[in-house]
Amino acid sequence: MISIRVIDSGENLIDFGSRMHKIFEQELPAKLNSLGQRAHQAMIAYIEASKKRPGGDNKLEESIEYQFFNEAGKGYGFWIGDIDKMSLESPYWRWIDTGVAKSGRMIPPGYDENPKIRGEFKPGSGVGRFERGFYPIRPIKSMPAMHYIEVATFQITNEVNQLVATLNK
């Protein structure tokens, strides 16, 4: 939650009140919606740019939704990413963000845990991909964390600071 403290601006109470009403009822919701959309786009762009092997599916990006709400009497705001939807459509979202799966594991499962995990490396168009195949796959490296949620949080923090600075003018 973000709170804004207003310091006496030297205006008379009526002018100050009408200026604040205009800001909080008209300008701020539009600016906040725009800020949320930019943060959402920054998160998606970061995920796409950080892929080690581009060309796969976009389930993670597609599962991250943006929603702005403006409810009379309750306020307005936005959210990025519905955890239930992300867990259903891209259950590995937490693992990609933090480097640790929901179960606590850091190294992906391999053939020793599930004999169905077999594959082969197929080079193509400059970037190779693992595909289904004959050979047992035994991962030994943990997945590096992408921290895409932190990227969006950083974007939001910077833009909120800029927005508050413009309100103080």
- Mean pLDDT (the chain) is 81
Which ranges of 4-147 would DSSP assign to H, the alpha helix?
Answer: 13-22, 28-50, 59-63, 83-89, 93-98
Give this prediction's pTM. Answer: 0.72
Distances (CA, A) of 126 to 25, 53, 123, 129: 52, 10, 7, 10
pLDDT of 48 strictly over 80: yes
Both tokens of residue 8? 């006496």
* Mean pLDDT on 161-167: 77
pLDDT tens digits along 54-91: 667 889 999 999 999 887 667 788 889 999 999 999 99
pLDDT of 1 strictly over 70: no
Both tokens of residue 144? 């590096």
Site of tokens 């939001």: 156
CA–CA gap between residue 107 and residue 95 (Å, rounded): 10
H/E segment holding residue 70: strand 66-71
Q: What is the pLDDT of residue 57?
A: 81
Domain ranges within the chain, ordered by starting residue: 13-99+145-167, 107-141
pLDDT of 164 strictly over 90: no
Q: Is 23 left (phi over 0), alpha (psi -120 to 50) or beta?
A: alpha
pLDDT tens digits along 107-124: 888 878 878 888 877 666
pLDDT of 30 strictly over 90: no
Q: What is the pLDDT of residue 123?
A: 65
